A and B are shown apart, each in its own frame.
Chain A
Amino acid sequence: MIARMDVGLGLWTMRSTAAYPASVPALYRRLREDAVLAEQLGFHSIWSAEHHFWYDGWCPTPIAAAAHAAAATTTLHVGTGIHLLPLYEPDAVADDLAWLQRLSGGRVEYGVGLGYRAGEYDGFGRSRKVRGRRMDAALDRLLELGDACPRVWVGGMAETALRRAASRGVGVMLPSTLKPEQLAVAVEQVHAAAEEAGTRPRIGVMKYAWATDGSERQRDRAAERLSSFTREYSGSWFPLKGQPGFEVPELLDAQMRRSAETALLGAPDELAERLRGYAELGVELCMLHLVGDARLPDHRATMELIGQQVLPALSEVAA
């Protein structure tokens, strides 16, 4: 029997982009409406992400988004995927999380990451160089909360990230762009680090995803949307071999191909098959990152397709 795997949805970022302009208050209204829909459809969780000082208004505080979504729902878990923990004072984050756990009745999934944009660290007057040390100290402070601490997920797949999670026995959230064989290797690495530390960390994975009718046409359209979404921020923010993405178009193109190749784009039965594979590997939570620039009707249609046709297939296997 395959172990049960929770399936969550991401990433609500509340962005008003050049491609998909929208009213920002309306985007936050969509967040709470989508949270209600996700709960009705039986998803485990919805997740919000964090970036700062960017034209599209990318949500800078996913903890506040989680509080908002939690208040609109009763059983759905609310996650940060991810929160840039080293930017903040650990005591303040501990207060926030303990309160959010109480407000939500213990439904918080707390994903953390180092981030990569220097401008975000510089805005807050933090040195990007010491972010790893700050992350370690902050995680240790949060774990002192004991029962008030939500489930923690450390994002990333670098050895230091895996050891950071394994040594503390908290979850690992693996990134979207791993191929199946790379995912298997990463899971093995987590297990090895855990064995060394004598812990049993949970394993989660993010995956770009979109449910289609199975046609090539819809798959290509989904891939195009994914590219539109990731090209913008990868080109603007990712250093590719030390240079801004837009200045090295061939590397950026390769990054886009990698995103599309590793995404779950297909009919519900194809998605269910891939997800069963993750569960067999020991993944306990898969956060399906629905492409962020999707228009509302499409976005909800894919939520419904996955909720109505993929989740039941997974629960049958687990049962």
Chain B
Amino acid sequence: MKLGLVLSSASAQAPLESLSRQAQALEERGLDLAMIEQGGADGPPLLTAAALSARTSTLRIVVAVDAGPHPLEIAELATVVDNECNGRLVLCVNDGRGDAGLLDETAQVLSAALAPRPFRHDGERWTIPANLPENDGQEQLIVVTPPTAQLELPLWLGGTGAAQVARAHGLAHVTSGAVLDVDAADRWAAVEAAVGSARVARLRRPGVFLLDADASGAFDADALVARLLAARAAWGLDVALLRPAPGLDDDALVEVVRRLATWVRPRVIQHTLPAGLVEHWRDWLPAHDQG
């Protein structure tokens, strides 16, 4: 299982420094992903990712944007950011307005636009290229450039209607940790029925979970491990993105990262660990952890 943190700047005065500190802590501690979401006090997430690309070198950056803008704008920003971070971007599109049709058409355009071949789209909301008479538009097909750095940029869908739309496009959907495991399992079973077991085996199964840390960044690691392993057993969770409680300062968020790297990550990779290993860590690590 891969682990990441949902970033949120803890400083209104220096948001980039705050976000960079969290992202760099994740990278230094060997965690896998940072997620940047739309909304809240922070600004447009793909711009934040463009900035953090210059401050990190190995961390995967998951950017969640709402459907709504022209999908070519999203696609172009995503391809530039993917080049800025040398192929570390994961794009997640949410049905921010709860509009499944909007999400569906956005996913359709993005699936074509993020591929390195010319395409055309004639949909309910967008015609691309538009071939407006006043533009003397001659082009019948269009290609988004630059191409992504990755051979295939991961595209996930999020929000309440995401599972159904994702199924139609053979894409991964992001599960909220608030959804019952049994319901999440039903959704993934429906995906498998629709796209087949070969395709579904290649899809990541990401989930976003609240992380109830106190003001120092401490949290109940045993409970979190149990929650993540239960989700993995029930519906195949393999990318866990943890959203800390709001209001933590940067020191606390770095402490969250430290604890995730030490007390959670080693326990959610394998199916099981040998008896006694976790107890050994409990005895040994507090005195030897380099902080």
Residues in A lying within 8 Å of B, measured CB to CB: 14, 16, 24-25, 27-29, 32, 52-61, 63-65, 67-72, 88-89, 92, 95-96, 98-100, 102-105, 118-119, 121-129
Q: Is B194 interfacial (CB 8 A cutoff)? A: no
For the complex, what is the distance from the CA of A95 to the CA of B65, rounded to whole Å? 14
Cα distance A25–B43 in the bound complex, in angstroms: 25
The CA-CA distance from A126 to B130 in the complex, in Å, is 8
CB of B86 within 8 Å of the partner chain? yes
Type the 1/0 row for B45-75, where 1 means its CB is closer than 8 Å to any CB of A. 0111011111100000000000001101100
Q: How large is the interface on B (under 10, 10 to 19, 20 to 34, 35 or more residues)?
A: 35 or more
* 11 new A-B contacts at CB < 8 Å, known A64-B84, A71-B52, A103-B47: A24-B149, A28-B83, A28-B86, A60-B146, A64-B47, A65-B80, A100-B43, A102-B16, A103-B48, A103-B51, A123-B142
**Bound Cα distance from A87 to B54, whole angstroms:** 27
Pick the interface stretch among B131-139, B177-185, B235-243, B250-258. Answer: B131-139
Which residues of the partner chain A approach B77 to less than 8 Å between Cβ atoms? 61, 64
What is the CB-to-nearest-CB distance from A194 to chain B, in angstroms, rounded to a whole number?
A: 33
Given the known interface contacts A72-B54, A128-B135, the answer about A57 and B47 at a Cβ–Cβ threshold of 8 Å is no
In the assembled complex, which residues on chain B have CB atoms less than 8 Å from the CB atom of A55?
145
Tell me, in angstroms, the Cα distance from A53 to B134 when the chains sit together.
Answer: 19
B143 contacts partner chain A, Cβ-Cβ < 8 Å: yes
List the one stretch of B25-33, B121-129, B196-204 in contact with chain A.
B121-129
CB distance from B17 to the nearest CB of A (A): 10
Is B174 close to A, CB under 8 A?
no
Known: A89-B69, A98-B43, A103-B48. A118 touches B142 (CB 8 A): no
Closest Cβ of chain A: how far from B139's Cβ, in Å?
6
Contact in complex: B84, A28 (CB < 8 Å): yes
- Given A60-B76, A71-B16, A71-B55, the answer on whether A122 and B43 have CB atoms closer than 8 Å is no
Asked if B43 and A14 make an inter-chain contact with CB atoms under 8 angstroms apart, the answer reads no
- Contact across chains for B126 and A57 when beta carbons are under 8 A apart: no
| A residues less than 8 Å from B76 (CB atoms) | 52, 60-61
A95 cross-chain contacts in B, Cβ below 8 A: 43-44
Q: Does B92 contact A (CB under 8 A)?
A: no
List residues of chain A with CB within 8 A of the CB of B15: 102-103
